[in-house]
Amino acid sequence: MENSEQPLLSTRDEDQTPGQPHNPILANTSLFSSHNANYGNDIDPINGVGDFFREFFVESKKLWRLAGPAIFSSLCRYSLGAVTQVFAGHLSALDLAAFAIENSVIGGFSSGILFGMGSALETLCGQAFGARRPDMLGIYLQRSWVILITTSLLLLSFLYIFAGQILKLIGQTEAISKAAGIFARWMIPQLFAYATYFPIIKFLQSQRKIMMMAWISFVALILHTVFSWLLMLKLGWGLVGAAVVLNASWWFIVVALLLYVLSGSCGHAWSGFSWKAFQNLWAFVRLSLASGVMLCLEVWYFMALTLFAGYLKDAEVSVDALSICVRVSNELGAGHPRTAKFAILVVVISSFFISLVLSLILVLGRRQYPALFSSNPEVKQQVYALTPLLAVCIVINNVQPVLSGVAIGAGWQAFVAYVNIGCYYVFGVPLGLILGYVLHFGVKGIWCGMLSGTVVQTCILFGMIYRTNWNREPFLSDRKGSHDPEPILPGIANPKFVYEERI
């Protein structure tokens, strides 16, 4: 029975084979393999090209069986904003800029915090599912709801209410600040949809219940497209229509997923609402904050890219062009010791080649696709000029999230947060500002500088993963007689025990 002193998750399940280490990195099924983590299921050593391709094919089938529906679901959800941006681009340059600033800065800031804090469930639910403790998943889900909804109510809602004043204070033009501020107040319901939605998807992903998420997201996208056209263009509601449809679409997804969870489809993982959700909250908050800081530093980085573009001459054109490129990049990216290591390799290789194909398609169609987002000739020309840089960005941004996913599954959030600060904000942002403003390269300079920060961060994550010793027991709880300090949270790996030099 759980009490306030009980750890978030015990490090060893009572049904686990004695002497067998429980490894949350490998137990997180959303990250690696469909097998439970045990050495008996480890792949054979790879001794040649034939062995490599055989195991690559086997691991790819596992990957796409889990990742395929998840990719489709993410693509549909991200497309809600893309569809709205397409229709906003056919209203006016100001409406498109206002939507881009609100969606990237106000919405991006808030969703970054909530998504990051909700990602704590990716570690905890993955461990609980791997340790055969499904009863804990529902408790974790409710705790995450408590934390995220409270954060939205007490902190983030004020960001939406005073968005216009905040944007003007940080240097955006009067016209963009006013239009984006009005739109932001209309988007407050979406904030609470985020707070409810992000924990649900982590809860379902940890149980591999992905197909229902994909179907619900697909239906939402179809309805969203039809009603966006009807309200924004046909009935002339403009950005007010965009806000109404976006809010309705997100809440449609949330309510549908809630009904799915409450219907009993998750078995023992959901046994009803419980007061246990309010116990041990502070430890949960600590992990949520660690996850939040790590992911927010990534999300806010590209939010800053759109924000800085608003300070350039012809701000509306610069913001419109850059927001289109960032949106396209986001859309296309929304696509056992040896087993863990090989699974990472398969995902990275697959992501790289997919992004390469998508980048080639964009480069070949760079004269056509800007017309989908805007009818403004200046905006279309700017997007055309930025497309080669966009192609490079897509390749990098398709590999980098894979490595960040490894960090989340491994419990490296706090360490990677420091890496992100150094690469993004100490190196990337200053370089982008120098290229964009001092050397007068404009939007292209800002993007090149900040993309350089992403490249450095990706290389560091590659190095960390390569130098990790997957063959040694990395968890403090399994080190008998260890005098090292306790891990960050009970049952969660301390990064210094996971990251060890290869021997």
pLDDT tens, position by position, 12-31: 333 333 333 333 333 343 33
More confident residue, 413 or 141: 141
- Which is nearest to 9 in space by CA: 119, 131, 118? 131
pLDDT greater than 70 at residue 481:
no
Position 68 scores a pLDDT of 76
Burial of 259 (0-12, 13-18, 19+ CB in 10 A): exposed
Rounded mean pLDDT of the chain?
73
Find out whether 481 and 12 touch, Cβ atoms under 8 Å.
Answer: no
Position 101 scores a pLDDT of 84
pLDDT greater than 80 at residue 314:
no
DSSP H helices, 37-187, are 49-89, 93-101, 107-118, 120-130, 135-151, 157-161, 163-169, 174-186
The CA distance from 275 to 2, in Å, is 11
Position 449 scores a pLDDT of 86
pLDDT band at 210 (very low <50, low <70, confident <90, very high): confident
Find out whether 114 and 197 touch, Cβ atoms under 8 Å.
Answer: no
Sign (positive/negative) of CA torsion 15, 17, 20, 25? negative
Tokens of 473: 């027991």
pLDDT greater than 70 at residue 212:
yes
More confident residue, 73 or 313: 73
The CA distance from 297 to 299, in Å, is 6
pLDDT band at 329 (very low <50, low <70, confident <90, very high): very low
Torsion angles phi and psi, residue 452, rounded to 5: -60, -40
Find out whether 482 and 476 touch, Cβ atoms under 8 Å.
Answer: yes
Position 182 scores a pLDDT of 93
pLDDT greater than 90 at residue 396:
no
More confident residue, 116 or 322: 116
Position 190 scores a pLDDT of 94
- Mean pLDDT, range 241-263, rounded to an integer: 95
Q: Could you read off the pLDDT of 111-155 as tens digits, one per residue?
A: 878 887 877 777 677 667 666 777 778 888 888 899 899 989 988
Tokens of 12: 């060893």
Position 3 scores a pLDDT of 42
Cβ atoms < 10 Å from Cβ of 139: 24
- Mean pLDDT, range 72-82, rounded to an integer: 86
Weakest-pLDDT range from 260-269, 457-466, 487-496? 487-496
DSSP secondary structure of 188-232:
HHHHHHHHHHHHHHHHHHTTT--HHHHHHHHHHHHHHHHHHIIII
Tokens of 349: 């290789």
